[in-house]
């Protein structure tokens, strides 16, 4: 059936005029040694037995190049459209210096460099579209706070959006502690916020008063009016879709005016992704962590030694420290013999006796999750058994050991994020990867990478190579392109060539550019580029 369908499609293709199929000029294709579209598609679907695999790959490269070129055209159009917009001009005030003096730590060289890059954007009068990437615990939040102080001192509002209520509340506690000392008003707006408090915040956001508001998806709902919004900060930006971010970046502004946008990601962006998916954004990197942080020690242990791990927990208790135990499922799956969070919590409660064991997972009500998490933060719980709900943002400085049960069932970037839940204070952090039987070669490679490296940038590159770009940032990143031919891992040399061609003065034909986007990125045609 597939062969029949392909034949019908190729008959239609064969009837097409060669001129209609070829979007790029003949001399241009000849200079780059690109084959015709018709020949390429026919040869790929029904290859001549005399053609070797190398020849087929060369033909595929012609299509892959055109696809990557179309994407670079789209990115260049995005950048040009942004350059025409306007935003508020912000210069450094006096509050930032006061804030820095209040901190009980010094900024790293990377943090200072990133601040300088952001300050240049804020002075330009063009809306900032910048992402701060940095490893777990590198200090992205304090950089965002230092930027927010400038905007608020300048008389504007700042909105910070987090992916979960738990993380939003943690940010609120951190920022309020900082900003109260600077007489800056900080508000928290969540789905569960009481009616009276909600109405008060809504009215304040409609006023001209400068302030910081922190929330989740509540911040981009249409009914919420935020006047005088100068800066939007999005934490863990890959957890939000492109349309959600666009809604928030346009809050408070009309026509060609929009607010500055600063995004943060603890998932370092591999170079190839930074040139494609994030190509329209400016990227700042915090590539070193505060000197007082110790490198987390990672051990890879077979589940046959589970009892040894449990005995180690007892020693952690005696030191007055806390433990995370993470597993991928909520309930046991008999088919795959994966341990579940519920059964592990029960087992630990039996073995550790008087120790306080708590269980948290995504299916609990938000109020219940917050109650459990607060108990752990207040040190009323010794072990928190959890699913990957704790992957992002949870900051418990007293937690020094994390056990990841069944790490072979998770991705490299996710495992690195989980590992970053410990060692967040001055104490030494430890991570145990407790793997099961029948470990695949891929699984062995993954655990080996984690044991030998705590460098998030190296791990992100390895993750891209092992899993591909489509899965690297998760299903919620609706901005990820679905490549038809190109492969970001194998076609890096084509990407470099496409960027060079797109940026050259010789390639500037609106008709060709529009046709390229129509063929390869039809979902983006609604953008008013042409």
Instruction: State the pLDDT at residue 475.
Output: 40
Q: What is the pLDDT of residue 477?
A: 41
Task: Give the number of other CB atoms < 10 A from CB of residue 327.
Answer: 26
Instruction: Provide the pLDDT for residue 141.
Output: 92
DSSP per-residue letters across 449-495: HHHH---HHHHHHHHHHHH-HHHHT-TT-TT----SS--TTT-HHHH
Report the distance separating Cα 23 and Cα 70, nearest Å.
Answer: 11
pLDDT in tens, the chain (530 residues): 998 998 899 888 888 887 778 888 888 888 888 888 888 888 888 777 777 776 778 888 899 999 999 988 888 888 888 888 899 999 888 999 999 999 888 898 999 999 999 999 999 999 999 999 887 778 899 999 999 999 999 999 999 998 888 788 889 999 999 999 999 999 999 888 888 999 999 999 999 999 999 998 888 887 888 889 999 999 875 555 556 666 666 676 777 788 899 999 877 777 767 777 677 788 898 887 766 678 889 999 998 999 999 888 888 888 889 999 998 765 555 444 345 778 888 888 888 876 788 888 777 777 787 788 888 888 888 999 888 766 555 678 889 999 999 898 888 888 888 898 888 777 889 999 999 888 888 889 999 999 998 888 788 778 877 766 554 444 434 444 567 888 877 888 888 888 888 877 666 778 888 888 888 887 766 555 55
* 90 close to 155: Cβ distance less than 8 angstroms: no
Tell me the backbone φ, ψ of residue 365, rounded to 5 degrees.
-65, 150
- pTM assigned to the model: 0.81
Number of residues in the chain:
530
Q: Which pLDDT does position 209 carry in this prediction? A: 94
CA distance linking residue 415 with residue 408, whole number of Å: 9
**Cα dist. 278→69, 130, 299, 352, 515 in Å?**
15, 10, 34, 47, 22
Q: Provide the pLDDT for residue 148.
A: 96
Residue 402 phi, psi (nearest 5): -125, 130
């Amino acid at each position: 059936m597939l062969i029949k369908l392909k034949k019908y499609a190729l008959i239609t293709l064969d009837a097409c005029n060669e001129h209609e199929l070829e979007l790029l000029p003949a001399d241009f294709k000849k200079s780059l040694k690109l084959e015709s579209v018709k020949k390429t598609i026919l040869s790929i679907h029904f290859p001549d037995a005399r053609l070797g695999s190398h020849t087929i790959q060369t033909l595929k490269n012609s299509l892959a190049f055109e696809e990557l070129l179309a994407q670079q055209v789209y990115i260049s159009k995005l950048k040009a459209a942004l350059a025409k917009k306007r935003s508020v001009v912000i210069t450094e005030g006096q509050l930032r210096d006061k804030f820095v003096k209040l901190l009980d730590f010094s900024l790293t060289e990377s943090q200072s460099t990133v601040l300088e890059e952001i300050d240049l954007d804020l002075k330009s009068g063009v809306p900032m579209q910048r992402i701060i990437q940095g490893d777990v615990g590198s200090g992205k939040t304090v950089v965002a706070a230092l930027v927010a102080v400038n905007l608020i001192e300048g008389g504007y509002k700042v909105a910070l959006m987090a992916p979960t209520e738990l993380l939003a509340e943690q940010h609120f506690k951190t920022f309020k502690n900082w900003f109260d000392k600077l007489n800056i008003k900080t508000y928290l707006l969540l789905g569960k916020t009481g009616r009276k408090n909600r109405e008060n915040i809504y009215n304040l956001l409609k006023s001209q008063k400068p302030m910081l508001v922190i929330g989740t998806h509540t911040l981009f709902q249409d009914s919420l009016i935020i006047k005088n919004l100068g800066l939007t900060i999005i934490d863990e930006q890959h957890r939000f879709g492109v349309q959600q971010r666009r809604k928030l970046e346009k809050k408070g502004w009309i026509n060609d005016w929009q607010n500055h946008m600063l995004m943060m990601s603890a998932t370092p962006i591999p170079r190839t992704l930074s040139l494609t998916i994030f190509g329209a954004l400016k990227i700042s990197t915090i590539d070193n962590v505060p000197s007082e942080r110790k490198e987390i020690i990672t051990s890879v242990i077979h589940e046959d030694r589970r009892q040894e791990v449990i005995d180690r927990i007892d020693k952690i208790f005696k030191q007055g420290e806390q433990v995370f135990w993470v597993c991928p499922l909520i309930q046991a799956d008999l088919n795959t013999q994966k341990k579940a969070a519920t059964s592990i919590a029960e087992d630990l409660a039996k073995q550790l006796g008087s120790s306080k064991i708590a269980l948290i997972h995504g299916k609990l009500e938000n109020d219940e999750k917050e109650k459990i998490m607060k108990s752990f933060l207040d040190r009323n719980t010794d072990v928190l058994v959890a699913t990957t709900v704790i992957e992002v943002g949870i900051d418990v400085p007293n937690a020094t050991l994390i056990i990841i049960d069944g790490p072979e069932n998770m991705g490299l970037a996710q495992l690195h994020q989980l590992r970053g839940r410990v060692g967040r204070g001055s104490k030494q952090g430890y991570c145990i990867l407790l793997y099961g039987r029948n470990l695949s070669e891929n699984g062995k490679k993954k655990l080996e990478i984690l044991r030998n490296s705590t460098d998030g940038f190296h791990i992100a590159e390895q993750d891209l190579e092992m899993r591909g770009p489509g899965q690297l940032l998760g299903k919620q990143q609706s901005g990820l392109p679905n490549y038809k031919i190109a492969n970001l891992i194998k076609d890096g040399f084509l990407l470099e060539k496409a960027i060079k061609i797109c940026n050259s003065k010789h390639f500037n034909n609106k008709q060709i550019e529009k046709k390229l986007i129509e063929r390869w990125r039809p979902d983006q045609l609604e953008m008013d580029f042409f």
